[in-house]
């Protein structure tokens, strides 16, 4: 059963579809939600409304200009939560970024005529297994096949570049002094930990709760802290420096475990 769409997201989606139909009535043939909405983990304070729009043709410069206006109007009226997604054709679904032509996308409130956003195995797996169809056939019927070997290899690359930077790059390490950085880094790495162990996907908060049953108790205060911040709660640490140091050590531990033996920690 598909998770319900919260009213705050549904009203934006309704207006988005109305604006898009008025501007380009024949462009959209299917519309799918993935990400936190599909995983029943949507938080209007922190989440994007992640979508994949399937178009009837490759978007022209004129189409892109109208799409830009649609997203500008929508962002002016509803800056939060933002829409984030790509305009693809049927044959693009499930493909690797290297095989997909550049296409229009919207991210962080900025519309791009050409490029890539979230074209990866995680997006396709969430869409196939949990996606919500607002228009078009059910996601389970889509011709999407995810190669787990490729997906895990891509996740390992992401783990050892982006996530590892929170233990090597001073600018990233500084994020650990901030509430947002704590929940982002701790729960983000734990989502990878969950997938490497379970060969499945979950939300950030879901990964946090999972980790409470699969990590030593000495880390549970930090994990509870990250979950609490993600859910809008307050900090239990008196010192942000102590918390950051705790998080730094934890990230090292989880990254090392994911690279070696995620089943033994």
Peptide bond into 132 cis (omega under 30): no
**CA-based diameter of the chain, in Å?**
57
178 HSE (CA, 13 A, CB side): 10
**48, 52, 57, 63 alpha-carbon torsion, rounded to 10°:** 0
Cα-Cα-Cα-Cα dihedral sign, residues 131, 10, 56, 103: negative
The structural domains of the chain, with segments of one domain joined by +, span: 7-141, 148-259
The tokens of 176 are what? Answer: 């650990």
- pLDDT tops 80 at residue 1: no
pLDDT tens by residue, 28-68: 999 999 999 999 999 888 899 999 999 999 999 999 999 99
Give CA–CA dist 95/124, Å, rounded.
8
Provide the pLDDT for residue 123.
94
Residue-wise pLDDT for 82-126, tens only, equals: 999 999 999 999 999 999 999 999 999 999 999 999 999 999 999
Can you tell me whether residue 110 is helix, strand or coil? Answer: strand
What's the pLDDT score for residue 146? 85
What pLDDT was estimated at residue 46? 87
Q: Mean pLDDT throughout 202-226?
A: 97
Is the pLDDT reported for residue 215 higher than 70? yes
239: nearest Cα among 219, 218, 251, 222 = 222
What's the confidence (pLDDT) of residue 3?
78
Average pLDDT over residues 224-239: 95
């Amino acid at each position: 059963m598909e998770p319900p769409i919260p009213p705050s997201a549904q009203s934006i989606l309704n207006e988005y579809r109305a604006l898009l139909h008025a501007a380009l009535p024949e462009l959209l043939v299917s519309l799918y939600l993935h990400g936190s909405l599909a995983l029943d983990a949507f938080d209007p304070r922190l989440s994007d409304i992640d979508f994949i729009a399937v178009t009837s043709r490759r978007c022209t410069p004129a189409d892109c200009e109208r799409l830009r206006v649609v997203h500008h109007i929508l962002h002016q009226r509803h800056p939060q939560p933002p829409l984030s997604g790509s305009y693809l054709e049927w044959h693009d679904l499930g493909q690797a970024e290297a095989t997909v032509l550049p296409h229009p996308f919207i991210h962080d409130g900025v519309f791009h005529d050409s490029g890539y956003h979230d074209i990866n195995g995680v997006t396709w797996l969430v869409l196939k297994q949990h996606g919500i169809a607002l228009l078009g056939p059910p996601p389970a019927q889509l011709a999407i096949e995810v190669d787990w070997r490729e997906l895990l290899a891509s996740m390992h690359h992401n783990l050892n570049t982006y996530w590892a930077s929170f233990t090597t790059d001073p600018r990233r390490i500084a994020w650990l002094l901030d509430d947002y950085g704590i929940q982002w880094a701790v729960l983000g790495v734990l989502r990878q930990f969950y997938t490497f162990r379970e060969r499945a996907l979950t939300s950030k908060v879901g990964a946090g709760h999972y980790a409470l049953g699969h990590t030593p108790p000495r880390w549970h205060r930090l994990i509870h802290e990250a979950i609490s911040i993600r859910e809008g709660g307050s900090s239990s640490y008196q010192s942000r420096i102590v918390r950051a140091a705790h998080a730094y050590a934890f990230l090292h531990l989880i990254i090392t475990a994911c690279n070696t033996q995620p089943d033994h920690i």
